[in-house]
Amino acid sequence: MEFAISVVTNELVTRFISFPTNRYSCHACSDEKRLQRLQRLLLRVHTVVEEADGRYITNSGMLVQLKMLTDAMYRGYWAMGAFNYGSLKETLMADEEEEEEVSNTLFHLKRSSYNSWEC
């Protein structure tokens, strides 16, 4: 059973190591697809980590791999949170710019209608 967990852990660690290189080499992939893929990978890894935490593991090599997998999982969660925060910040800035445009337009409309009443 430990062998099976070791194989799964090795596969997931390999995927987490290769993920950043593939991420930057795949220019055709959209950010949304990357985020969805990261979420799926994190769900898989989280399941493996929870399952491994529930078992009594005595193999020191397996414990080292589990620690590496856990660290990679938390880095993945951080990256996903940072991406979501960045996109949220961009959305808020775009909304503020749009509101400013609307208020400037309204100001000019009010001013022009006020000037037409003076004549």
Residues 15-42 have pLDDT tens digits of 777 776 666 665 546 777 888 888 999 9
Of 1, 5, 108, 25, whose CA–CA distance to 65 is shortest? 5
- Dihedral class, residue 117 (left if φ above 0, else alpha if ψ from -120 to 50, else beta): alpha
Asked whether residue 113 is assigned to any structural domain, the reply reads: no
> What pLDDT is attached to residue 96?
65
Asked whether residue 112 is assigned to any structural domain, the reply reads: no
> What pLDDT is attached to residue 18?
73
> What pLDDT is attached to residue 98?
64
**Which stretches of the chain score pLDDT less than 50?**
28
> What pLDDT is attached to residue 12?
74
> What pLDDT is attached to residue 68?
92
**3-class SS of residue 35:** helix
> What pLDDT is attached to residue 46?
92
> What pLDDT is attached to residue 2?
74
**Token pair listed for 88:** 């949220």
> What pLDDT is attached to residue 3?
73
> What pLDDT is attached to residue 44?
92
Asked whether residue 105 is assigned to any structural domain, the reply reads: no
Q: For the chain, how many structural domains are there in total?
A: 1
Asked whether residue 17 is assigned to any structural domain, the reply reads: yes
Domain of 26 in residue numbering reads as 2-90
Asked whether residue 39 is assigned to any structural domain, the reply reads: yes
Q: Which amino acid is at 27?
A: H
Asked whether residue 96 is assigned to any structural domain, the reply reads: no
Asked whether residue 111 is assigned to any structural domain, the reply reads: no
> What pLDDT is attached to residue 99?
63
Which residue stretches of 1-119 are H helix? 2-25, 31-53, 60-118
> What pLDDT is attached to residue 100?
66
How far lies 94's CA from each of 55, 90, 110, 116, in Å? 49, 6, 24, 33
Asked whether residue 25 is assigned to any structural domain, the reply reads: yes
